[in-house]
Amino acid sequence: VKGLARYDREKELLTYIPDLAGSGIALSKIELFGFVIPDSGNVYAVSNSGLIIIEPGTGHYTVIKAGEQGDTRFLSDAHTESITHDKARNGLWLGTIGGLNFYDLSSKQFTHYTPPPEMMNKDSKRDNTINAITVGLDGHVWFGTRRHGLYRFDPTTEHYKHYVNDEEQPSSIGSNDIWHILQDSKGRLWVSLVKGGVKMYKTDRDDIIRYQTNTRRVATICSKTERTLSQENKGRRGGG
């Protein structure tokens, strides 16, 4: 199902945001991959056509697409599959098909970061897709890709640290195809993988712990394809 809907809990009513004539983009016709709602109250959604900014009260929305190289008013690439709010920097981190972008909520300008070498092959852009992104408690940006594994990015130094699967190393991440990332209140990073279960990374020790499917034990991960993670009130993790 495509488009964006608002759910009224009291009325138990689901209402889709209507397409706006003249906007250049019909929400019902594009793929939406995720959204965040910062303190401003606007909804910022990422799609295969760019960043969409929606005013919930009016239903009005604007679309920011890709522009010329170096134009900070626009995204570096329109196809954007992941987004997270960085409250400390008052902005949004976006995972485009060609690398990281940062959107400053005050200046309304983008910063385009040069991707790591593995993601600079323009002939395989789909493999460069950033499926998941989050900001750690220490300010580092973590993102997971479709084929290139897990990265930790330091916005101050613009340095990337790369984590990849190594079949001969049990402490490696287990798969280079990543679905979702979550950091809990204790600073531990939880990563869900395609055909690799769930991994827990201890940031204080630079150590990765694997949680994989075990058909003999009910308490282990129930599926090797874990698409989402959520943090519940008592510190438990949920995947689905």
H-type alpha helices, the chain: none
Residue-level pLDDT at 202: 53
Residues in CB range of 89: below 8 A, 6 or more apart: 102, 104, 155
**DSSP states along 79-144:** -EEEEEEETTTTEEEEEETTEEEEEETTT--EEEPPPPGGG--GGGGGGG-EEEEEE-TTS-EEEE
Which of left, alpha, beta for 104 (phi over 0: left; psi -120 to 50: alpha)?
beta
Residue 40 has pLDDT above 90, yes or no: no
- Computed over every residue of the chain, the mean pLDDT equals 80
147 vs 107, higher pLDDT? 107
Q: Give the Cβ contact number of residue 103 at 10 Å.
A: 21
66 vs 211, higher pLDDT? 66
Mean pLDDT computed over 130-154: 92
Residue type (1 letter), 122: K
Q: pLDDT digit string (tens) for 177-222?
A: 888 888 888 888 888 877 655 655 555 555 555 555 443 333 333 3
Residue 128 has pLDDT above 90, yes or no: no
Residue 101 has pLDDT above 50, yes or no: yes
DSSP state for residue 77 in the 8-state scheme: -
231 vs 69, higher pLDDT? 69
Task: Report the alpha-carbon distance of residue 117 to residue 102 in Å, rounded.
Answer: 19
**pLDDT confidence tier of residue 122, bands split at 50, 70 and 90:** low
Mean pLDDT computed over 45-72: 92
Task: Report the alpha-carbon distance of residue 43 to residue 56 in Å, rounded.
Answer: 7
Q: How many CA atoms lie within 13 A of 62 on its CB side?
A: 4
Task: Report the alpha-carbon distance of residue 145 to residue 177 in Å, rounded.
Answer: 6
**pLDDT confidence tier of residue 127, bands split at 50, 70 and 90:** confident
